[in-house]
Amino acid sequence: MQSTNNITDSGIEFKITKPSPQLFDFVESFWMLENTSDTAHETVGLPDGRFDIIFSYSSNEPFNVMLMGLGTESGQHSIPPKIIMFAVSFKLLAIEYLLDIKAASLLNAAHPLPTHFWGIIKDDLNDFGNFCEKIAAKMISLIKPDIDSRKQKLFELIYTSNGSLPVKELSEKVFWSSRQINRYFNEQFGISLKAYCNILRFKTSLHHIKEGKLFPELNFADQTHFIKEVKKFSGVVPKELFKNKNDRFILLSALPKK
């Protein structure tokens, strides 16, 4: 696994690593974040279409594990000083076939997990590469067999299209009715398929905004629609996102440089 490193002017260090092929359907990435400064960093979290398990500790906080649910809106956050966070960001298929939970109740919320979850301990946060290998091996051992091929194909299309395909087209391609798909999404994730696709499309547009492309590159109706959707999920217009003053938008700062 190969990591992408990014260090901001605010003393925030990121590392992001993609999973092995065995985990590709379930894991979006492994990542670490460290605030190396002596002060908290105020930031705005943005919807990214993932849910996360985060292992962390700081000079003032003991080792803990949190399951972060799917986010649909931006929110103010504070990254404590001297904190180290190692995490796994999951694709939605992992909810059913890796963790075996219903995430609808976790929408825009977090849930503490046992400090010994998946056998990860504080010392595992000393080496990002070793952490990734250890937790990847654990997850591979937990994957359930007999995955519904319709769901597997549906998520493959959703992610490869970055949420730009209409629900009707997705339904036709996987031979699964729109009504059944939306029932599955609402019951399992607490969100409709269309709403989830809109979040993925917004997240993908962040790569373009970071490069200074302040116009729609995906399946937006026009410039007005693009601006409206960006403001809906981030609270600001694309131009303000691009400026990203003081690394305010942490997800934008963490995006790998192309």
Query: Against a cut of 0.85, is the pTM above it?
Result: yes
pLDDT in tens, 110-130: 999 999 999 999 999 999 999
All domains in the chain, ordered by first residue: 3-142 (2.60.120)
Phi/psi for 54 (5° steps) reads -115, 125
Query: Is 19 in contact with 136 (CB distance < 8 Å)?
Result: yes
Question: What whole-number percentage of the chain has pLDDT above 90?
Answer: 66
Phi-psi region of 184 (alpha: psi -120 to 50; beta: other; left: phi over 0): alpha
- What is the rounded distance in angstroms from the CA atom of residue 210 to the CA atom of residue 217? 13
The answer to whether the beta carbons of residues 32 and 84 sit under 8 Å apart is yes
pLDDT band of 190, cuts 50, 70, 90: very high
Interval 219-231: pLDDT, tens: 677 788 888 988 9
Grouping H, G, I as helix, E, B as strand and the rest as coil, residue 114 is coil
pLDDT tens track for 151-174: 999 999 999 999 999 999 999 999
pLDDT tens track for 241-255: 888 887 888 777 777
